[in-house]
Structure 1
Amino acid sequence: MEFCDECGSMMKTEGDEWVCGSCGFAKPRNAETEAAMTTTQGQEETEVIDVSDVDDRGLPTTEVHCDECGNDEAYWYMQQIRSADESETRFFVCTNCEHRWREDDH
């Protein structure tokens, strides 16, 4: 990848030249410089890991009782819902039935 010496925009190849699509500046291509550039061609493919069956929302869990289904584990997160001088509110989402409630509801 080359960037324009005049305006800094990304350049594209046209034949034996690098040409800027923004300002029209052109400069000759250099085979040695281009050979040293990193490309995605020829790189090893990465292994795809199937995590579709993982039940993880990326949120921490805690031991708390769900009044809807009786489960004792829930995801939790904090959110500012009142003015900045008030404390945040903790919200829970049951890991079993996905019932939602906030800490001050109980």
Structure 2
Amino acid sequence: MSFCHARDFLFCSMCGTLLSFDSLHFARCPLCGFKRAAGDIEGRETRYTVTAEDIRRELKIEPFVILESAPVDDEAVQRAVVNEECPQCRHPQLEYYTKQLRSADEGQTVFYECPQCRHKFSINT
């Protein structure tokens, strides 16, 4: 079986629509009626990849993990506060939140932000 490097042998030469195999003798374009002889296509190998995302999209299935959208500017983000001094401006409190960025058997990452000068830094715990 030969592999065709030209990717257009299954598409209409006139309008680019995918050809339909309505007969053993030819492939026909459902849009404009163009016909291509089956002998031109016979023995060609077609390869394609279907991802899990393609299947979910086609079947209209929600993704397994729904990413949270970024907060809108008007929406206030509430963060925990710790009594630690800012290394830049010496403000007595820092806001913080945590994320698991490394593998599950390792600690989480703590992100700090000063509410006064907006200095940001992180620590792996």
- Using the size of structure 1 for normalisation, the TM-score is 0.42
Q: Which has the larger radius of gyration?
A: 2
